[in-house]
Amino acid sequence: MAIYQSTIKRTLILFTAMTLLLTSCVEKEKAAPSIAKTLVIQPFSGISQNQVDNVSKQLRKHFRTVKISKEIDLPQSAFYPPRQRYRADSLLSFLLTNEPDQKVTVLGVTDKDISVGKNDIIDWGVMGLSYRPGRSSVVSTFRLSKTQVQEQLYKVAVHELGHASGLPHCQLKTCYMRNADGGNPLNEETGFCEKCKSYLVERNWIL
């Protein structure tokens, strides 16, 4: 999932509407660097240390520097009481404010349900959300298969970080960049396709 901003209101509305039709999980950060030098994993209270360690271990295969920050509470400002969820778009901006270093990309990890507005749906539950391009992403274990959390969390994390590097969704069903479109197709994904892979390698990913 990813988000967009523009200085011209009309353009913003049209562009956002088009984007939401094509991609269900992306927001755009203004003037964000698309190549991160350092990835920081930000655990939110409740996520197991084991999950954080596992995902960071796997992400170290793709990023030269991966750090884990001290666990923090989810910001109350992102809480959406009607559905007992946290708004993923609010979490993305919170993560940016919390980590002002422009050379750092932050990946928030939570076990709570997260959501964002999508087309006419006010509150649409998602597995993850990212700016595209940008330097903050957030992933949640809430909608993942309970017996395959480790493997699926990794897939959601690389999908969102792919958006953070600028990648849009991919049409190939086996590619990590496919659009989940409200479901959980993660078990059908086997890796980045050649096109997505070469895009990321150009942006310093190790693949």
CA–CA dist 176, 189 (Å, integer) = 6
Region from 13-21, 22-30, 55-63, 104-112 binding Zn ion, contact rule CB under 5 A: 22-30
Please enumerate in sequence order all residues whose Cβ is within 8 A of that of 161, keeping only pairs 6 or more positions apart, or say none.
39, 59, 62, 105, 107, 130, 137
Region from 1-9, 13-21, 119-127, 145-153 binding Zn ion, contact rule CB under 5 A: 1-9
Rule CB under 5 A: is residue 156 a binding residue for Zn ion?
Answer: no
The nearer residue to Zn ion, 88 or 175, going by C-beta atoms, is 175
Q: Which of 177, 189, 199, 205 binds Zn ion (CB under 5 A)?
A: 177
x/- map, 187-206, Zn ion, by CB under 5 A: ------x--x----------
CA–CA dist 89, 137 (Å, integer) = 9
Least distance in angstroms from the C-beta of 206 to Zn ion = 17
The site for Zn ion, by CB under 5 A, has a size of 7
The nearer residue to Zn ion, 85 or 132, going by C-beta atoms, is 132
Rule CB under 5 A: is residue 25 a binding residue for Zn ion?
Answer: yes
Rule CB under 5 A: is residue 170 a binding residue for Zn ion?
Answer: yes
- Contacts of 174-180 with CB under 8 Å at 24 or more apart are 179/23, 179/24, 179/25, 180/24, 180/25, 180/126, 180/127
The nearer residue to Zn ion, 5 or 65, going by C-beta atoms, is 5
Exposed (0-12), middle (13-18) or buried (19+): which is 28, by Cβ within 10 Å?
Answer: buried
Q: How many CB atoms lie within 10 A of CB 7?
A: 7
Interface contacts to Zn ion, rule CB under 5 A = 1, 25, 170, 175, 177, 193, 196
